[in-house]
Amino acid sequence: MYDFLQQSGDFRSLLMNSQAYNPLLQKLLAVVVAGGVFVLALMFSVVLFAVVLTVGAVAWGYLWWKSRAIRKQMRDNPPGGLVLEGEVIREVNPSRNDKPDNGV
C-alpha cells in the first residue's frame, strides 16, 4: 500500500485535492463518530447504573435478612425482670431530718 501511495504522488496532496477533500463530508463524519461515541457512553453508563443498583439491592436484602432475628428480639418483651416506667415522687419527712437534694 505504501508503494501505491508513492506512485500516486504525495498522499497529503491527494487528500487536499479539491475533488477528494470535502469539508462537509468531514463534518458529517465527525458528527456521526461523535454520535456513536455518545451512544456507547450512554449504553455503558446504563449498564453500570444497573449493576450498581443490583449490587445495592442484594446488599440491602442480605443485611435485612441477617438482622431479622435482632428485629424479632427487639419486638419481644424482655425476658424476666420488672420494668417500671413513670415518675418518682419523693416525700420529705421532717421528723427524720430529710433534706431535699434539689438534684445536687
Q: Which residues are CB-neighbours of 14 under 8 A, at least 6 positions away?
A: 5, 8, 20
Model pLDDT for residues 51-78, shown as the tens digit of each residue: 999 999 999 999 999 999 888 888 886 6
Boundaries of domain holding 39: 2-80
Q: How far apart are CA 61 and CA 85, in angstroms?
A: 36
Residue keyed to cell 485535492:
17
The pLDDT, as a whole number, for residue 93 is 73
**Backbone torsions φ then ψ of 63, nearest 5 degrees:** -65, -40
Asked if residue 86 is part of any domain, the answer here is no
pTM over 0.95: no
Asked if residue 96 is part of any domain, the answer here is no
Asked if residue 49 is part of any domain, the answer here is yes
Task: Spell out the alpha helix ranges (H) of the chain.
Answer: 2-7, 11-16, 23-66, 68-75
How many domains does the chain contain in total?
Answer: 1
How many other CB atoms are found less than 10 A from the CB of residue 5?
11
Residue type, 34: A
Which has more confidence, 89 or 38?
A: 38
Asked if residue 39 is part of any domain, the answer here is yes
The pLDDT, as a whole number, for residue 12 is 59
Residue type, 9: G
Asked if residue 87 is part of any domain, the answer here is no
DSSP label of 82: -
Determine the average pLDDT of the residues in 10-25: 66
